[in-house]
Structures are given as structure tokens and as C-alpha cells.
A and B are shown apart, each in its own frame.
Chain A
Amino acid sequence: MTQTRAPMQDEERIARRAALELRPGMLVNLGIGLPTLVPQFLPADVDVLFHSENGFVGMGPALEDGTPDHDIIDAGGRACTIIKGGAFFDSLLSFAIVRGGHLDLAVLGAFEVSIKGDLANWKIPGRLTPGMGGGMELAQKANQVLVVTRHLDKKGRPKIVRECSLPLTARHCVDTVITERAVFRRRDGALALISVHPDHTIDSVLEGIEVPMRVIEPLQSWDQPPESPEGVGA
């Protein structure tokens, strides 16, 4: 949310496409990293409320000028703002919002996503152990989970796998994955390819993914927003 550096080309493409998933009236939580790039690509007329799990709803952008207020920080620890109509609370109430089913959408990063929608994003044993923070609750309890991630990991392997090899954040939780190459949605319990970026083909999207994947044709155009799910914003 408070990200100010210019996003790299792939990240910007992912964030722009992800912004289409945010619909008016939604309450949305953004994970650390790439997810924080999404709001800058929201059309001005899309009224979305952001939840920051450290204790408020109504998170606004970082101040462009002036003195930052360090009593208002996002979950990544950066100073941000609160909009008119926002509200502060403590950690208990913050997670009652999440576990109680009030959070419409969580936008999260990923190390791996399995074809069944399992998510691993909190630990690479022996190497990187940031901890799960609020990620398990967000992944398990948000009404929808959107993963935004580079298509390939640093070794060039697709992030979408048959089974996650890393410790899980939650099972069967991911509804949508957006990469710089494609959009995947979980249909009948498995991720399916629904849209391909114009720079890519079905083959270049599926290359290296070691599990059969359903392709839902005709593919949707890259900038086609999702159908409004029932109940969102109600």
C-alpha cells in the first residue's frame, strides 16, 4: 500500500491485472511485497476498503509529502495513512474480522501453489523463515484468496506444482493465481488456466508445470474483469 518505488515490468503487469479482481465494496487485505503494489492500479471509482491486520480498516496510501505518522503503520511496518471512515482496533478484533468471515479478499504472495490450491508462503526450511504472521488465518479464512507471484521461481521452475514441497500455509485455499504470464482459477477443486497474457501462449504458460492442467477455452482476454461473485460487498 505504501510502496513507492517504480514496480518492475512484470510486477506492474501482475499488479495491474490483480487490481481488476478488487470489486467495489470489498474488504481486502494485502500481504507484504508484491500485493502492496495493487492499489495504485485501482480505478478511482472503485471503492475498496483495506484491512491492515496490525489493527485497522481504511488503510490509505503513504503520504506523498509531509511528515510521516509513525503511529499509523501497515503490517510491513511502514508509515501509511487512514482514510475518513476508517477505524483502529487491537489484534484480537483484527483477526475476528478475518476468522469471522468478514474479509472478502486476501491478496498474498507465494513460494509454491499446488494444483489443488494449497499455498506455501511462510518458510523455506534452513534458509528463510520469516514466520507465518497472519498468513495462515488470511489464507484459510478470507472469503477469496488471490495469489500474485512471478510465474517462475529464482531457479526458473514454475511456482505452480503438483504438491507443495515447502511447509504449507493452508490447504485448498487459493482461488486465483495471477502471474506475468497467465491467470488461473480454481474450478472443481483444481487450478485451471483461464487467461494468457498477449506476450505468451498456452504452451509457454504451461511449460515446466509438471501436472496436467485444464485449459478453459475460449480463454478470457487479459483485461477482462472476473464475474462478480455472489455476496461480495453485501
Chain B
Amino acid sequence: MIDRTVPIDAAVSRFIRSGSVIMVGGFGRGGVPFTILEHLADHADAFADLTLIKNDASEPHLGIGPLLRAGMVKKLIATHIGLNPEFIGQMNRGEVECELVPQGIFAERIRAGGAGIPALLTDIGVDTEAAAGKPSVRLDGETYLVERALRGDVALVCADRVDRTGNAWWRGSNRNMCVVMATACARVIVEGKQIVEAGAIQPEDVQLPGVFVDAVVQAQPRRHMRTEAPA
């Protein structure tokens, strides 16, 4: 049985470089790999020109917020950035590139990337700004946008429970983009709130099979126990 547990610094230094394209799981605070992100923010000098693909821009002090604030990110692909006014300011001043994508299409583009499908067709966003710069096709009398697949160098996700081989399980609404992101990246680091022995998660309950996973790291309790109200 492969044991994929490693110390966090080993996982990060092995898989993440300046210029990496990184998918980050989470919606609001659920599923966000806070411990890995804080490790990256603590080493801001070591990582530059990152492209982040994440549902939302977090809040300025949380999640990917400190990475954005520190100027480590050249581009963010996201669906919603409304809780991070600092980032909106950076974007409006042209300091960082931001591509906004309708949320379900964001998920489908990642799914396509993970499933070996180069692009998908959709009518979501036709005749809006979301169509800008995208090819369109006519099919059966309708207009569809061509949405390209998204892939990343590394996915960072936080699971509520993960076994040593990387089989992962999420509680409540924490799953969100985590599973699909793990299918669409060359390397996957799962941050586990709880790391268990193989077999402790029933096979029927595994939401992400460990075959997608390269490293399992331990979440630090104080990171995911934050409960303060949004700023």
C-alpha cells in the first residue's frame, strides 16, 4: 500500500514552482487548504508569477487573500471576487489579471481538463461579456460558445478525511470544486483535517480515489478552526 503522507514543506517544494498554474479547492471557507496556503504565504519570496484557479478570491486575510496581497499571483481565474475588495482594487488598477467565469462552466472546464476533453460547448454567457474573445459555433440553429478546458500543474485541496493512500472524503458542503480539480492537475496535494489508515473510509464513501493524489499533508487545527465573521 503506497503511503502518500509527507511533511508540508516537502510536498510544496517538490511540486510548486514560480510560474506554476495552481488549482485551489474551496467555496467560501469549505474545502480551502488553509495550511498549505499559509505555508506559501510564509514563503512569498520563493514563489512568483503564479496562476491561481479558484472559485472565489477568498477574503483579504484568508485563504489565497495573502498570496494576492503579496503580489505572488499574476493571474486569477475565478467566478466571484466580491468578498475581497483589496483584490478588486488590484484588478481595477491593472496590477493583476483576472478572468471571471460562470461558476458551473468553471467547474465543467476543469472537468473537461481532467477528462481529456479539449473544450466544451455552452450557451451560458452568449451575448454577454463572458463571451468576449471566445469562438462560437452554430449547431442545430443555436449559437454556442467554445469554452476551453482548464488544466493545472498542481491542485491543492482540503478534505475532511483522507487515508494514507490519498482516498478522500468531504463533509457537508466542503466538497465543491475539490474533487474535479484533483482530476485536472498533474500533481495533487490533499490537506487532510484528519488522516486515517487505509480502509478507515469505506470504499463506497471515497469521493476522490487516491490514484489522483500525489501527497497527503496534515492540516493544522488552528487553520481550519477559524470562525471569525467575514470582514
Contact = CB atoms under 8 A, between A and B. Distances in A.
Contact of A134 (B28, B83, B91, B103): B103
B97 interface: no
Interface residues of B, number: 45
Interface string B158-197: 0010000000000111111111100000000000000000
B107 interface: yes
Interface stretch (B12-20, B34-42, B44-52, B124-132): B124-132
A94 B104 contact: yes
B103 A71 contact: no
B124 A140 contact: yes
Contact of B172 (A88, A126, A132): A88
A90 B128 contact: no
A123 interface: yes
Nearest to A53: B103
A54 interface: yes
Contacts of A128: 88
B6 to A, nearest CB: 26
B180 A92 contact: yes
Contact of B173 (A73, A99, A136): A73
B29 A70 contact: yes
A interface secondary structure, majority:
loop
A180 to B, nearest CB: 24
Contacts of A233: none
Given A53-B103, A77-B28, A136 B125 contact: yes
Contact of B175 (A90, A98, A141): A90
Which 3 A-B pairs rank lowest in CB-CB distance, beginning with the nearest?
Answer: A95-B104, A130-B82, A71-B172
Interface of B: 27-30, 55-56, 78-83, 88, 91-92, 100, 102-108, 111, 123-125, 127-130, 160, 171-180, 207, 227, 230
7 contacts: A53-B103, A56-B173, A71-B30, A82-B172, A90-B207, A135-B102, A137-B105
